[in-house]
Structure 1
């Protein structure tokens, strides 16, 4: 891959960020299929949605949920930058993290269940589209900030360059549109995407103020926040 797509590191994961939105769709495809099949059985939408999110969490190893919980604990409980970073490095879950996880699962469950009341395919397509959008915005957050730690996991992976960030964002938007156009018009998709971007911006500004940069946890928190807002927005306006 040409050097312009990453900065400062050879062989790091930052080379692969352009594929993150597509990878997100592939990861979400199995849970989306499970969701679509269970909804065809005329079950109450709540059960298929919970089963699908359970499968998705197992497939991802709760990687981004873990980042959300750690970031919530650090931002909520940290007295200052160093204290927040210390809390985020602690593997134990605090009250802020637990509440963040409960809200994440509850909001995504409610949004997908609401989408199931409309067109049958919409929840499954929305789940895959949200996976693409949230991972594109995750790359944007990663590229927008320096590493908050001099020797953290994120800095070891390298910082995505502008070309990689742009490619990830563009491909995420296109994938979301292509996935959802069979079920809804472009306007709700674009509005939901814009609101998800605002959520990612909010996490980025909060990370800047609290710890002065990104960590692996804030990258995961950005993915979760933008996915939640995208699904909730789509449920409200589609």
Structure 2
């Protein structure tokens, strides 16, 4: 990770630097990140939901395109699940698998972190990946089969919630488990009040997306985001207890947990 030399003044932070940091670290889009300091990381984690929104638009667009071309709901669902994986080089899924291996090992924090850094995936990681991907595809296939709009809204809101979970995980008071890596770069950079504002804003945005399905759709989408954040928070607290803080892998696991929870909630109740 490039750093600004200590004797060189950091360039002034611009409104675009936060977006550059968010898209440059959370997607594979060719965005040049000018700054890697804590101030840029704070702005970047505030902008994480914007990156999620872009990913969600891509996922929904591909699913809808396939349906328009005559594909079935299952293929559209697979495509919508594939887009976030491709746009992140599978880093969130890899983080989910590594975190599952670390937690499933039952080892002390130092040993568990070492297991998570290994390049291979253990049985806990494989099982977790399989179940999560199956759940995501199953829900999106159900929703696309019911209504193209419901499937698109679900793909969009799940991606938004996934990155909002990262904003919350980077809030003040959450330590890093290691002194290096993405976890250390962004741990604790977001003020709690700012994280609260981000949650409120994203819940309203999700409600606006769900409103395309009516009043219940708006409530359902916003509720799904809140449930997703609750599930991610439970995992976050467990990881902090087990590992002593967050890592880049934990961030990936939180994103996938939030995305999957949104989809499961939206599959219940017959709305978005």
Question: Distance between the aligned counterparts of 1:61 and 1:35, measured in 2?
Answer: 19
CA contact (8 A) 1:73 1:88 kept: yes
- Structure 1 residue corresponding to 2:125, chosen from 97, 122, 126: 97
For 1:18, the equivalent position in structure 2 comes to 46
Question: Distance between the aligned counterparts of 1:152 and 1:23, measured in 2?
Answer: 20
CA contact (8 A) 2:235 2:254 kept: yes
- CA shift, 1:42, in A, is 4.6
- Structure 1 residue corresponding to 2:109, chosen from 73, 81, 90: 81
CA contact (8 A) 2:166 2:251 kept: yes
- CA shift, 1:209, in A, is 2.2
For 1:216, the equivalent position in structure 2 comes to 248
Q: 138-147 or 223-232: which moved more?
A: 138-147
In the alignment, does 2:142 pair up with 1:110? no
- Structure 1 residue corresponding to 2:174, chosen from 145, 160, 173: 145
- CA shift, 1:172, in A, is 2.0
Summarize the alignment of residues 29-48 of structure 1 with structure 2, pairs less than 5 Å apart. 29-48=57-76
Secondary structure, aligned partner of 1:159: coil
- Structure 2 residue corresponding to 1:52, chosen from 74, 80, 85: 80
- CA shift, 1:29, in A, is 1.3
For 1:179, the equivalent position in structure 2 comes to 209
In the alignment, does 2:184 pair up with 1:155? yes
- CA shift, 1:43, in A, is 3.3
Question: Distance between the aligned counterparts of 2:136 and 2:113, measured in 1?
Answer: 28
For 1:166, the equivalent position in structure 2 comes to 196
Secondary structure, aligned partner of 2:212: coil
In the alignment, does 2:228 pair up with 1:196? yes
Larger of the two Rg values belongs to structure: 2
Aligned CA distance change for structure 1 residues 190 and 175 (closer, same or farther; 3 Å): closer
CA contact (8 A) 1:12 1:156 kept: no
Question: Distance between the aligned counterparts of 2:56 and 2:254, measured in 1?
Answer: 17
CA contact (8 A) 2:209 2:221 kept: no
CA contact (8 A) 1:19 1:168 kept: no
Q: 151-160 or 200-209: which moved more?
A: 151-160
TM-score (norm 2): 0.79
- CA shift, 1:174, in A, is 2.2
Q: Deviations over 1:128-151 (max 9, x none)?
A: 111111211221122252111123
For 1:126, the equivalent position in structure 2 comes to 154
Structure of higher RCO (CA pairs closer than 8 Å, 6+ residues apart) = 1
TM-score (norm 1): 0.89
Aligned CA distance change for structure 1 residues 147 and 32 (closer, same or farther; 3 Å): same
Question: What is the count of residue pairs matched by the alignment?
Answer: 233
- CA shift, 1:10, in A, is 4.1
